């Protein structure tokens, strides 16, 4: 992680701590509000690639802060957490559609590596959230909780693949040239 990214992430996490502290009675609601704030910041504006990266990192920081509050509160939020988990497919698809839909902006501003890093950070936060959800789920619901987590992680991975599979992002990563070499060699 670049030093500037580390400071940005730390700042977002600090702001999120205040945000989630306000949601201490229901940190799951804080997570839901964080996702909604992310959506509003991207959908209702015409963001630059830097804005998209920053919004993604801010969401990751808020998720991290809310996870801290959630884990300290114990497993009393299990039902609400499961309801949120049931939405992971929709949330993942929404994030995918936003980021892939803004792909031309990301490509134009050549912020591919930063966007890749932001998606990696989101994946890590959703993995942590999913693992917590699995650990607190009743025995008969652990498999469902695991499938919710797997779904969002796979969708975020597909998002990265689509961003890096073409244009300047693909060229930066060497994927486009490698695809052409493979076709020539076949």
Confidence band for 181, pLDDT divided at 50, 70 and 90: very low
% of the chain exceeding 90 in pLDDT: 22
CA angle at 122 for the pair 167 and 88, rounded to the nearest 5°: 105
H helix and E strand count, the chain: 10, 0
Q: What is the pLDDT of residues 24-57, one digit of tens each?
A: 578 888 898 898 888 888 876 677 778 888 888 8
pLDDT tens per residue across span 55-100: 888 999 999 999 988 888 877 888 888 888 999 989 899 888 888 8
Cα–Cα distance measured from residue 29 to residue 156, given in angstroms and rounded to the nearest whole number: 22
- Which pLDDT value is given to residue 10? 40
- The total domain count for the chain is 1
Residues 6+ apart with CB under 8 A from 43: 98
Domain extent for 56 = 3-185
* Confidence (pTM): 0.76
- Report the candidate in 108, 151, 107 with the shortest Cα–Cα distance to residue 129: 151
């Amino acid at each position: 992680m670049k030093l500037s990214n580390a400071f940005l992430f730390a700042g977002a996490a600090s702001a999120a701590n205040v945000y989630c502290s306000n949601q201490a009675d229901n940190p799951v609601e804080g997570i839901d509000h964080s996702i909604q704030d992310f959506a509003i910041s991207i959908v209702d504006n015409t963001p630059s690639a830097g804005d998209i990266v920053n919004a993604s990192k801010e969401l990751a920081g808020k998720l991290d802060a809310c996870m801290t509050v959630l884990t300290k509160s114990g497993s009393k939020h299990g039902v609400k957490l499961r309801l949120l988990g049931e939405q992971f497919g929709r949330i993942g698809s929404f994030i995918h559609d936003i980021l892939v839909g803004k792909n031309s902006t990301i490509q134009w501003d050549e912020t591919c590596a930063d966007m890749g890093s932001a998606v990696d950070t989101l994946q890590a936060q959703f993995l942590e959230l999913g693992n917590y959800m699995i650990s607190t789920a009743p025995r008969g619901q652990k498999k469902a909780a695991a499938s919710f987590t797997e779904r969002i992680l796979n969708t975020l991975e597909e998002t990265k693949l689509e961003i890096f599979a073409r244009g300047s992002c693909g060229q930066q990563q060497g994927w486009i040239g490698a695809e052409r070499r493979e076709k020539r060699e076949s």
